[in-house]
Chains A and B, each alone.
Chain A
Amino acid sequence: MTLSLKEVTKRFGNHTAVDHLSLEIPEKEMFGFLGGNGAGKTTTFRMILGLLDITEGEISWNGESIGYNKSHLIGYLPEERGLYPKLKVRDQIIYLGKLRGMTKQEAITELKWWLDRLKVPEYLDKKVEELSKGNQQKIQFISAVIHKPKLLILDEPFSGLDPVNVEMLKKAVVELKEQGTSIVFSSHRMEHVEELCEHLCILHKGKQVVHGSLRDIKRSFGKKNLVIHAEFPLDFLQDHAGVVKYKALTDGCELQIENEDVSQTIFAELQGKGFIRKFDLEEPSLNDIFIEKVGASYE
């Protein structure tokens, strides 16, 4: 089932939070939704879920609009975490599961499975307020996926978790995807998006500035990164034709170059100058792309 947004616009008074956003989010895929702070990510999610009315445009899922009659097919992990502090994990999940169309028995079975899966089975009868923030997050994650949604929206799912737990949740997310859940995923951690998503878009001040598959985005970006470690000074490369950015490292430098060909002229130039430990032509990282696309307007 594809989720499609057509020319979606949301205005709050004079302020345009989302500006003519068009997206196709393919089925059974993880879609990266990036953007700086206040770019309109959460607003878009809220519109997809129907929490906010759309000013203009159309959102459809498999050709149908999303309403409360589909809430059992949708899972949502909001950026602002929230559970009932005084309620036990069991009661909490049963309640939220029921609201997503589960029976009490189903909810308990699934909850136990997930608690085991996330290695916290002892929390079943604990109150949420007794758990650490990271563990509350796990429970929150369970509440978003307990009913096996077809469409899962994760707003910053890994913030506030330690690296071990990040890996654990990542694995769980990938498994869900493999089982056929379409996932829309927002994060400020570019390496997570790079690792998990095939398609992505970058939002900036409500406008979409980048959109497509990760590979295409990187390829069309053109610029490459070049890392050189050498035992002689490299600062002369700063003024070399085709070098966009120069960053000195302790034992060499990192360059951003206009295209692959530049690396070859640099390679030729370095010959005979001394011992070269490393000469590495890399794809640009998503981080570079993000900073260029979004950061440009900050400068």
Chain B
Amino acid sequence: MNKFWIILSHTYTTRLKTKSFLISTIISLLFIFAIANIQTIIDAFSDDSSEKIAVLDESGELFGPLKANVENIEEDIALVAFDGTVEEGKKAVQDEDYQALVTLALNENQLPEATYYANTITEAGIQTAMEEQLQQLKISAATQQAGIDQEKLAEIYAPVTFETVALDKSAKTGEELSQARGIVYVMLFLLYITVMVYGQMIAQDVATEKSSRVMEILISSVSPVTQMFAKIVGIALLGLTQIVLIIGVGYALITAKQDELTGGMFKYFGIEGASLSLFVYAIVFFVLGYLLYATLAATLGSLVSRIEDVQQLMMPMMFLVVAAFMIAMYGLNAPDASFVKISSYIPFFSPMLMFLRVGMLDVPTWEVALSLGILIATILLLALFGAKVYKGGVLMYGNSGTLKDMKKAMKLAKKE
């Protein structure tokens, strides 16, 4: 078996078997399972019986329409006419016979007024529902007094017609945009998390081999460069396993529960409707982005001699990732901004930002090609540079954790 594959499979299987990997995967799966079943879970915890609310109607005419309106909107609320005094009503609420007491009356203008009594007024849901419905009653009462007929009223309240039309023929339609936004969102998050988690893992792995001094044996049997890339790919496969598992389970659950979940959020993320080319772009930029940051992480990891120093040395890289992510988040709402455009050519930002632009705008092919070219060139340069640093760095021990060591490591790898 090729040594590259030996290291790759070793990296993959030992990491796969670690407790931390298993636990984090299981927790993520549980989390997804919980989200997919959120409706069932909420139902299980909430009371099946509806909330009974006592209504003391002094006007004698409000209770009927209010009851009809509220119960129509909120299935869980039941309004019950209460015929006693206010004090008796309050007592009943305190004894928890009712959730709350509402007194209705008409003021001097013949408009409805209400007071809401409850043991605590933390449950805003019922209050708001009651208030909104009473508001409706008030509006219809007031407009009736003013002599406006109800049809006119409905017309006033109907939403305005507001259509958006992009004149540029190749510009994305609103629907396309929201689909693109979904996949851009998902890809940005995935790349961000992957680089954060697995970049860290690579640096950690290299540092562990160095600090346990097993490195010298390793590099006496395999070239450091082979080792570095085998590690990067091995951890990439590990990440892929986790991501595929999570997305796969998530997708299966969502499809199974589709009718339960209301469309809103998923329509916004409209992943299903996105075009194939966008998916291809997503994969290309994702892979390149990962390679770029992973190479950097391995290079940095080779410089430290103690695991505790990994965090410190990874900081600059983390800042880069966070910065890229921040710009991308801003860019989601303003993909046209000039600094988003500029950033989409800067290698450490381009995997996120050029993809964002490709998704949201109509970017000329040459621009994408240029950005990809710069990105690939940077990866190659970084790999060459990283391999040099790595070769010297893995033999270098002592007080480390500074970027100055990079120069020292390069020197060590050189002939003189």
Min distance, Cβ A54 to any Cβ of chain B, angstroms: 7
The one of A13, A85, A98 in contact with B1, judged by C-beta atoms closer than 8 angstroms, is A98
Contact status A84-B214, CB under 8 Å: yes
Contact status A52-B416, CB under 8 Å: no
Contact status B3-A99, CB under 8 Å: yes
Among B164-172, B217-225, B366-374, the stretch that binds chain A is: B217-225
Chain A neighbourhood of B10, CB < 8 A: 95
With contacts A82-B212, A95-B10 taken as known, whether A52 is within 8 angstroms of B217 at the C-beta atoms is no
The one of B212, B413, B414 in contact with A85, judged by C-beta atoms closer than 8 angstroms, is B212
The bracket for how many chain A residues form the interface is 20 to 34
Min distance, Cβ B198 to any Cβ of chain A, angstroms: 19
The one of A51, A53, A71, A81 in contact with B414, judged by C-beta atoms closer than 8 angstroms, is A53
Q: Using an 8 Å CB-CB cutoff, how does the interface string of A55-82 with B read, 1 for contact, 0 for none?
A: 1000000000000100110101010111
Min distance, Cβ B208 to any Cβ of chain A, angstroms: 8
Contact status B414-A83, CB under 8 Å: no
- Size of chain B's interface in residues, with CB distance under 8 A? 28
The one of A55, A76, A84, A95 in contact with B220, judged by C-beta atoms closer than 8 angstroms, is A76
Beta-carbon contacts under 8 Å, A87-124 to B: 87, 91, 95-96, 98-100
Contact status B14-A71, CB under 8 Å: no
Chain A neighbourhood of B376, CB < 8 A: none
Cα(A52)–Cα(B414), bound, Å:
8
Is B288 on the interface with A (CB-CB < 8 A)? no
The one of B3, B216, B218, B411 in contact with A80, judged by C-beta atoms closer than 8 angstroms, is B216
Give B395's nearest chain A residue, CB to CB: A51
Contact status A54-B415, CB under 8 Å: yes
Give A68's nearest chain B residue, CB to CB: B223
Is A49 on the interface with B (CB-CB < 8 A)? yes
Min distance, Cβ A276 to any Cβ of chain B, angstroms: 54
Contact status B221-A99, CB under 8 Å: yes
Q: Using an 8 Å CB-CB cutoff, how does the interface string of A122-158 with B read, 1 for contact, 0 for none?
A: 0000000000000000000001100000000000000
Cα(A55)–Cα(B414), bound, Å:
9
Is A277 on the interface with B (CB-CB < 8 A)? no
Contact status A12-B411, CB under 8 Å: yes
Is B213 on the interface with A (CB-CB < 8 A)? yes
Contact status A78-B395, CB under 8 Å: no
Chain A neighbourhood of B397, CB < 8 A: 80
Is B101 on the interface with A (CB-CB < 8 A)? no
Cα(A81)–Cα(B213), bound, Å:
6
The one of B6, B212, B217, B415 in contact with A76, judged by C-beta atoms closer than 8 angstroms, is B217
Contact status B213-A82, CB under 8 Å: yes
Is B215 on the interface with A (CB-CB < 8 A)? yes
Min distance, Cβ A280 to any Cβ of chain B, angstroms: 44
Give B208's nearest chain A residue, CB to CB: A84
Beta-carbon contacts under 8 Å, B1-48 to A: 1, 3, 6-7, 10, 14
The 3 closest A-B pairs by CB, nearest first: A82-B213, A82-B214, A99-B221
17 new A-B pairs (CB below 8 Å) besides A71-B222, A80-B216, A85-B212?
Answer: A11-B416, A12-B412, A51-B216, A51-B219, A51-B220, A52-B395, A68-B222, A68-B223, A76-B216, A78-B213, A78-B216, A82-B212, A82-B214, A83-B214, A99-B6, A100-B221, A143-B217
30 pairs, CB–CB < 8 Å, chain A vs chain B: A12-B416, A13-B411, A49-B220, A51-B220, A53-B414, A53-B415, A54-B415, A55-B415, A71-B220, A72-B221, A74-B220, A76-B217, A78-B216, A78-B220, A80-B213, A81-B213, A82-B214, A82-B215, A83-B212, A83-B214, A84-B209, A84-B212, A84-B214, A91-B14, A95-B10, A96-B217, A96-B221, A99-B6, A99-B218, A143-B217
A residues sitting closer than 8 Å to B (CB atoms) are: 11-13, 46, 49-55, 68, 71-72, 74, 76, 78, 80-85, 87, 91, 95-96, 98-100, 143-144
